[in-house]
Amino acid sequence: MSAEDELYEKGKSELRLSERILAELPGFRGYKEKELRRESDKLLRNHLYRRLMNARSDLKEAFQKLSDYRRYEVLTDMDRLLARFDRIAENINHASYGYAGFFNIVKIEEEDLDRMISFDHQLLEYVNNLVEEASKFKADILDLKFSEAKTHIVRVSKALESLDKKFSERTEAILGVKN
């Protein structure tokens, strides 16, 4: 069983008795199934966002150390990196949960929601890479290896760019246009 299926099944197994009874009613079952999928995705993206905030904390600590030691040659780059980091993290945190309005031409079905969960689960690899790069950056700066700062900024920027590029494909992936 995949990790995204585990999230969904866990949510399904924790339904209250009243919800299980209602889930047997025609029409309500489909509604509840969609809600469970959306909640599963919300939990997954909350996890991604928390991981990103941990990485951001590492970057802020490195930024503070660079500032304390007056490493002016990298402070502007760090400031830009943190601003971009914040924008991307907030985009992920506030992305759509797969709702479509009643009059929308494109309707979001269970298969689309399953693709959304699967896609967001793929983002974990990109986030983990970014967290790892931020952690290495912080470690080197705390060890006063300031000569590595520019290299780390480039590495974190590339990891952030990869995450942003992958995330930009989310809508197409949900609609089944792109894998």
> pLDDT for 123-172, tens place per residue?
999 999 999 999 999 999 999 999 999 999 999 999 999 999 999 998 88
pLDDT band at 30 (very low <50, low <70, confident <90, very high): low
Return the H-helix or E-strand segment holding 107: none
Whole-prediction pTM:
0.78
For the chain, what is the mean pLDDT? 84
Average pLDDT estimate for 37-51: 90
Query: 93-115: per-residue pLDDT in tens?
Result: 998 765 444 444 455 677 878 88
pLDDT band at 1 (very low <50, low <70, confident <90, very high): low
Cα–Cα nearest to 82, from 105, 58, 56:
56
- State the pLDDT at residue 117: 87
- Taking every pair of Cα atoms in the chain, the longest distance, rounded to a whole number of angstroms, is 66
